[in-house]
Amino acid sequence: MSPMHHYAWAFYCIIRVMSYLCTITDEDVFKIPKFRKPDTFKKRITVKAIVRNSEGQFALVTNDVHGIYLLPGGGTETNNLEDEISRECKEEIGYSIELSGEVGKTHEFRNRNAKEYFTTCYIAEVKNKLTEDMRTAEEQKNDLRVEWLDEDDVIRIFTKQKEAVRKGEVEFYNTAFNILRDGIFIEKYLLDR
């Protein structure tokens, strides 16, 4: 996919439907997909959030394993998506949050693990800093941490990360998907403000 086609595709995804933003497949993420499409996919529901603090900075999470910046969020344990994103933010950024809206939804087919992702992205503001570390044992082991960044830094980071995906430089399969998906959420959020 040429750079111009890739960005045109991302823009097309954003404007297609109000809440539904797009479907992402291996062919959209990788120049040469390594995994063939399975006969069936297992459903996975995930949530993400664009969270701002009182200084107007955005929360991105990162770790030393891959050094990539992503929106806070993850897999759900219940059907209450608003509770799930609140739990994920407590775990990953160490704050309770107040939801103020929804960015939209994406649909992904990830061939490697035969997973069909349905992701909802919310808009939130931080409320209270937690006194207890709520990260999971794996998140603690990988030193998952939040970094609060200005809008220009977020745009710069995601532009660089999406270019690395386009060039095939992102080694982690799911991380490559996550970069494109989170970048679409950020672009949609910035367009709608």
Note the pLDDT of residue 55. Answer: 97
pLDDT in tens, the chain (193 residues): 444 444 444 444 544 444 999 999 999 999 999 999 999 999 999 999 999 999 999 999 999 888 999 999 999 999 999 999 999 999 999 999 999 999 999 999 999 999 999 999 999 999 999 999 999 999 999 999 999 999 999 999 999 999 999 999 998 999 999 999 999 999 999 998 8
Query: Are 186 and 71 spatial neighbours (Cβ–Cβ below 8 Å)?
Result: yes
Note the pLDDT of residue 65. Answer: 86
Note the pLDDT of residue 193. Answer: 83
Residue whose pair of structure tokens reads 């532009």 in the numeric block: 159
Domain covering 3-192 in this structure, CATH number: 3.90.79.10
Give the C-alpha distances (Å, rounded to integers) separating 178 from 71, 130, 141, 193: 9, 26, 21, 23
Note the pLDDT of residue 16. Answer: 42
Note the pLDDT of residue 66. Answer: 87
C-alpha to C-alpha distance for 17 and 12, rounded to whole angstroms: 10
Provide the residue ranges of all domains of the chain, joining segments of one domain with +: 3-192
